């Protein structure tokens, strides 16, 4: 089983407009609301693939209840740990004319030490084959919270940024998955391979870097590989990184080698761009593209 953890859960609200224009009033053509947060999205993708998964997340208030109801209706196995604060909203505006995507992410409610302990206890009750720790830490969470969860001995994929990423390295996660911008922010190094090597030296077993339309780079103990999609896709990219994490976690569970695992992650990332909402994947695209992703070893 793959267990995902989302400390900073969200109720995702997606608006579709004809065109996003500053200082103008917009008529919204379509509104969709669903449970979100990076780990929830990962579990949603895994569930769509038929994988054994469960999402654990913090949730509270009216938005938290809405998220819980939507998850139950979707069939994604989940355990929502209650908090006193109101679950945050994340708002995405999709512009139909130019297919641009604009996000507004709230910081999330402040949680207590007891609420964090309840989350950690919920995680400890399970014996997963792979653990996924995703997203930002909410205000009030211990700075080393991810490191504590990752130190369980279960192969862990850590997908976060900033101080949470740096502190999480102490837990020695099997994989960390920043994008190129996040990698520069935490290392100050602009060369991707060199920066990834810094994170490996600080505790990460491997580093998988999202490069947007150029694919992904994996820097590992057994080598460095670059995977590129067969074609550049346009659509909603907000869940692409989460779909890639689902692919990484599934590859670890299956014991795949790095070229196969990285190809899966890139194919799922592209399938998410074609999905209407974060957490959705175009399964025919994924199955068609999985073996078409070009994966090449980099010489050290």
What is the set of active-site residues? 242
- The total of other beta-carbon atoms located within 10 Å of residue 25's CB is 5
Can you read off the two tokens belonging to residue 81? 């740990």
Buried b (16+ CB within 10 A) or exposed e, 55-67: bbbbbbbebbebb
**3-state SS string over 7-66?**
CCCEEEEEEEECCCCCCCCCCCCEEEEEEECHHHHHHHHHHHCCCCEEEEEEECHHHHHH
- The total of other beta-carbon atoms located within 10 Å of residue 143's CB is 12
d(CA 87, CA 110): 10
Would you state the torsion angle of the CA atoms of residues 101, 107, 113, 119, taken in this order, to the nearest 10 degrees? -10
């694919």: which residue's tokens?
A: 215
Contact 274, 282 (CB under 8 A): yes
Q: How far lies 287's CA from each of 66, 136, 214, 246, in Å?
A: 32, 31, 20, 15
């Amino acid at each position: 089983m793959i267990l995902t953890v989302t400390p900073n859960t969200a109720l995702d609200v997606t608006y579709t407009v004809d065109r996003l224009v500053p200082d103008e009033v917009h008529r919204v053509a379509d509104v969709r609301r669903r449970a979100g947060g990076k780990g929830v999205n990962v579990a949603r993708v895994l569930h769509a693939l038929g994988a054994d998964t469960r999402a654990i997340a913090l949730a509270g208030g009216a938005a938290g209840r809405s998220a819980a109801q939507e998850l139950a209706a979707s069939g994604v196995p989940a355990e929502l740990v209650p908090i006193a604060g109101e679950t945050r909203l994340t708002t995405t505006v999709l512009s139909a004319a130019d297919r641009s995507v604009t996000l507004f992410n709230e910081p999330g409610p402040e949680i207590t030490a007891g609420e964090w302990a309840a989350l950690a206890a919920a995680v400890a009750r399970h014996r997963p084959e792979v653990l996924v720790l995703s997203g930002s830490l909410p205000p009030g969470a211990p700075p080393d919270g991810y490191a504590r969860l990752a130190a369980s001995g279960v192969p862990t994929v850590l997908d976060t940024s900033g101080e949470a990423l740096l502190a999480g390295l102490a837990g020695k996660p099997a994989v960390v998955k920043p994008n190129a911008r996040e990698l520069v922010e935490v290392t100050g190094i602009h060369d991707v391979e060199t920066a990834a090597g810094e994170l490996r030296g600080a505790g990460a077993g491997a580093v998988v870097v999202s490069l947007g339309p150029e694919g992904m780079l994996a820097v590992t103990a057994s080598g460095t590989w670059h995977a590129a999609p067969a074609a550049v896709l346009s659509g909603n990219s907000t869940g692409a990184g989460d779909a890639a994490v689902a692919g990484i976690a599934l590859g670890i569970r299956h014991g795949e080698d790095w070229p196969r695992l990285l190809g899966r992650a890139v194919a799922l990332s592209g399938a998410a761009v074609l999905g209407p909402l974060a957490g959705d994947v175009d399964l025919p695209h994924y199955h068609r593209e999985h073996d078409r992703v070009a994966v090449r070893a980099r010489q050290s």
